[in-house]
């Protein structure tokens, strides 16, 4: 699930993630492909990299990076959401601060996209909590392909956030060898 190049802790170099968030109208969709690769070998084709978190499942989270690192961060984010219910932005800022300053967390190699009814954020180990201007975020090895496709599809009238996410992920999978067509999409309605 890692889209990082080789590092001292990962000399082989794990690859293979595309995560995309699209916010349009009353809907936010978070999509992730299912491919996990090790070098030039597909290890798994149906990994689940997008899920609902939080007490009521009102937050969508997707991750790119080392699997164990990503799960550690998801658990930490869920703890922050318990401490700050219905305050995704504050929970993300608290997690990013811990991630940047804690000696153990600093070593984690992952990125996350999280979204609720009101906000979408990219979280990184550099302490970044970034909200896009246009409601679209892409991370991972195919993230830029999916991001570009989704931005182009925003100009097509009548497409929902989920439809844009699915089409953009298909385009990314056709281009990025570390991304497959086994896409999982989670959606939230922002008007309910």
Q: Are strands 41-44 and 36-38 parallel, antiparallel or unpaired?
A: antiparallel
Highest mean pLDDT among 4-13, 32-41, 54-63, 160-169: 160-169
Q: Alpha-carbon distance 147 to 117, whole Å?
A: 20
What are the structure tokens assigned to 14, written together?
Answer: 């794990």
Q: Which of 17, 18, 122, 179 is catalytic?
A: 17
Q: Return the pLDDT at 142.
A: 95
- For 38-61, the pLDDT digits (tens) are 888 888 999 999 999 987 899 999
Q: What are 75-128's pLDDT values in tens digits?
A: 999 999 999 999 999 999 999 988 888 777 777 788 899 999 999 999 988 889
17 is catalytic: yes
List, for residues 133-162, the tens digit of each pLDDT value.
999 999 999 999 999 999 999 999 999 999
**Pick from 76, 70, 82, 2: nearest CA to 35:** 2
Q: What domains appear along the chain, each with residue ranges and CATH number?
A: 14-184 (3.60.20.10)
Closest CA relative to residue 3, chosen from 49, 46, 52: 49
For tokens 């890692």, the residue is: 2
Residue 78 DSSP SS3: helix
12/192: higher pLDDT: 192
């Amino acid at each position: 699930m890692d889209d990082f190049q080789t590092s001292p802790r990962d000399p082989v170099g794990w690859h293979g993630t595309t995560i995309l968030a699209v916010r349009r109208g009353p809907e936010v969709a978070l999509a992730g492909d299912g491919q996990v690769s090790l070098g030039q070998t597909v290890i798994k084709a149906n990994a689940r990299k997008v899920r609902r978190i939080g007490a009521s499942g009102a937050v969508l989270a997707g991750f790119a990076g080392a699997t164990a690192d990503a799960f550690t961060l998801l658990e930490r984010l869920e703890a922050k959401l318990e401490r700050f219910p219905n305050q995704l932005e504050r929970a993300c800022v608290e997690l990013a601060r811990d991630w940047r300053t804690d000696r153990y967390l600093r070593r984690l190699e992952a990125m996350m996209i999280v979204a609720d009814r009101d906000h979408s954020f990219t979280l990184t180990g550099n302490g970044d909590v970034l909200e896009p201007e246009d409601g679209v975020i892409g991370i991972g090895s195919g993230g830029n392909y999916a991001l570009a496709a989704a931005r182009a599809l925003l100009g097509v009238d009548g497409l929902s956030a989920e439809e844009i996410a699915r089409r953009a992920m298909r385009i990314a999978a056709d281009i990025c060898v570390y991304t497959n067509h086994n896409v999982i999409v989670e959606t939230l309605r922002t008007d309910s």
